[in-house]
Amino acid sequence: MIYTCYEMVRDCRANLPEGWSYFVAYYVPVVRKLLAHYGTDDAALLERVLLAIRDPQSSMFQSLEPAPERWFVAQLRQEVLAQLAAPAPEIAIDLEAAAGALEPLTMLEKQAAWIETMRYSPVETGAMLRVAPQTVEKIRDRAAELIRQKVDAWRRNLLAENGPQLGRAAAASAGKDCLAVKTFLDIIDGRMTWRGREQLEHHVTGCWHCIDHFCRMVEVVELLRGMQPLSEEAAAPFRALLGLSARKKRWWRA
């Protein structure tokens, strides 16, 4: 039978073991990958994150959207990053200053620059945005120079060092005209018309909340690419951690 992410969210919200079993099998690997990229490969940290998600007070399973899996993983990413310490950068730059410096860039250029705050290399960023790594490098060099001209203290990795703070500020800056998740997915999946894309770019080019949101969604697409579920044996310790009984039935995924 097919058991979907949408059904998992519904069942986890109702605290049913079917939902949490599916979450362990299919999304613990995603959490691990996120922690390895943004934090550290630490078993204790992984356990702490999973217990925070399992907590009834967690907002993880409180709403549903169309295209639920990618939406869910985008929300999962935010939940994981919220559990990570964000040490104060040696040289700070806030969202207003960064946005002002990068204002001359196009939408694509802003995305390439912003994904540097997410600690992805030019090669990884190029794959996400479907551009050459060399193009990403040139954009980031230009972005770095624009920022250097606007701040009193600077170094080349300023955006990456301020990534957690900038990401949280952008995520919190949503306005009434910001775009729905489905719109971002329409762009990623090639369903957006040219006219619709032009209208969208008019808003997104000046909105760092939407630029950040788009970058998170393309990151999610890469996170899910080739992801394999845990085996029954590998899932057992996480099921025990979350207080789930021995699994009686396997949920198959199409």
Mean pLDDT on 199-209: 82
Number of structural domains found in the chain? 2
> Per-residue pLDDT for 229 more than 90?
yes
Are 131 and 159 found together in one domain?
yes
Q: Are residues 193 and 111 in the same domain?
A: yes
Please check whether residues 168 and 119 belong to one and the same domain.
yes
Query: What residue has token string 């690997």?
Result: 29
Instruction: Quick: pLDDT tens for 16-27.
Output: 999 999 999 999
At residue 199 the predicted structure's pLDDT band, cuts being 50, 70 and 90, is low
Please indicate, yes or no, if residue 28 is contained in any of the structural domains. Answer: yes
Q: Is residue 158 part of a domain?
A: yes
Mark whether 120 and 71 lie in a shared domain: no
Report pLDDT digits (tens) over 98-120.
Answer: 999 999 999 999 999 999 999 99
User: In terms of domains, do 146 and 36 share one?
Assistant: no
Range of the domain at 77: 5-86+227-241
113 belongs to a structural domain: yes
Do residue 215 and residue 118 come from a single domain?
yes
